[in-house]
Amino acid sequence: MDKQNQTVPGEFILMRITDRPELQAPFFVLFLTIYAVSAVGNLGMIVLTKVDSKLQTPMYFFLRNLAFIDLGYSTSVGPKMLVAFVTDQNTISYHWCAMQLTFFILFIISELFILSAMAYDRYVAICNPLLYTVVMSPRICWVLVAVPYVYSASVSLITTIQIFISSFCGYNIISHFYCDSLPLLTLLCSSTWEIELFILICSVFNLVSSFLIVLVSYILILKAILKMNTAQGRQKAFSTCGSHLTVVAVLYATLAFMYMQPKSSHSFDTDKMASVFFTLVIPMLNPMIYSLRNKEVKGALHRMWKNLCKIPI
C-alpha cells in the first residue's frame, strides 16, 4: 500500500464468531454460560486452595496460579466477544486492542510454563518423596512461578510495542474476533520481518522448552512408577498425575490442531472454533478436571459446603 495511507487507527473492526442473525442469541447464551462457569470455577479454585488448610502444598500453589491464568486469558477475550453479539458494529479502540494483546500473550505463555512447573513438582513428589519438602520449598515454588510471569510479561510487552509503534495502513479490519499478533501484522505498512522472526523464535522456544520439561518429567515419573513393588503404590502415583496429564493433553492437542494444520486445510471458521475452544472452553475445563478427578479438592469442596451450611441466615 502507499506510504501516504499510513495512519494510527482510532479503532479496529473485529470479525464476529458468526454473521448469521439467527445464531447471535443462541451463541450469546452459550458463550455467556461457558464464560460464567469458567469464571466461577477458576475463582472458586483460587479461593479453595487459599483458605483450605489441607490444600497448602506446592501442587495446589501451582494450581491456584493456573486458575488465575485461566481466568486472566479467558477474561481478556470473553467479555469483548460477548459484547459483539449484542452490538451492531464489533469495534475495539486502538489502546484497548494493545491491552488485550498484551494480557492475552502474557497469560498464554505463563500457562505453558506453569504446567511445566507442575510437571516438575509431580516428578519430585514421586521420584524423590523424601526430599520433596526441601526441593519444593516455598521459596523455590515462588521462583518457579515468578520467572514465567516475568518472562511472559517481557515477551508480551516487546511483541505489543513492536506492533503498535509500526505504521498501520488505512485498512483496520482484523481477521479475528480478538486482537492477536498475526492478524495485526497483516495491517502494517512497514516491514514486519523482524517482528515475525521474534514471534517465531519465542513461539518455538515456548512450545518446545515447556513440552520437553513435561515430557522428560513424565518419562522419569513412568520409570519410577514401573519400579514400584505394589499395585496400590502405582495406582496412587498415577492418580496424582491424572488431572495434570489430562489438562496438558487437552492444551497441547488444541495447540497442535491450531498451528500444525497444512495451509490447504486452513479456514477462518475452523480457526475461529479452535480459538474459542482455546480461549474459553479450556479455562472452563481445567477447574472441572481438577475437581472431578482429585479427591483432595472434592474433600475441600465438601468441607467448605458444610461450613457454609452452618452459617446462620
Q: Is residue 132 included in any domain, yes or no?
A: yes
Q: How far is CA 310 from CA 58, 172, 304, 305, 306, in A?
A: 30, 56, 10, 9, 6
User: Which range among 4-8, 84-88, 160-164 shows the weakest confidence by mean pLDDT?
Assistant: 4-8
Q: Is residue 302 included in any domain, yes or no?
A: yes
Query: What is the residue-averaged pLDDT of the chain?
Result: 86
Show the domain range for 41: 11-309
Q: Is residue 6 included in any domain, yes or no?
A: no
> In the numeric block, which cell numbers belong to residue 300?
475441600
pLDDT at 3: 42
Tell me the percentage of the chain whose pLDDT exceeds 90: 43
Read off the pLDDT of each residue in 158-164 and give the average, rounded to a whole number: 94
Q: Is residue 72 included in any domain, yes or no?
A: yes
The amino acid at residue 208 is: V
Provide the 8-state DSSP code for 173: E
Check if the beta carbon of residue 169 is closer than 8 Å to that of residue 1.
yes
Q: Is residue 5 included in any domain, yes or no?
A: no
| Composition of the chain by helix, strand, coil, percent to 5 | 80, 5, 20
Q: Is the pLDDT of residue 62 over 90?
A: yes
Any idea what the CATH number is for the domain that residue 187 is in?
A: 1.20.1070.10
- Using a cut of 0.75, tell me whether the model's pTM lies above it: yes
Q: Report how many domains make up the chain.
A: 1
Q: Is the pLDDT of residue 29 over 60?
A: yes
**What pLDDT digit, counting tens, does each position of 79-110 carry?**
999 998 888 778 999 999 999 999 999 999 99
Q: Is residue 111 included in any domain, yes or no?
A: yes
Q: Is residue 1 included in any domain, yes or no?
A: no
The amino acid at residue 204 is: V
Q: Is residue 259 included in any domain, yes or no?
A: yes
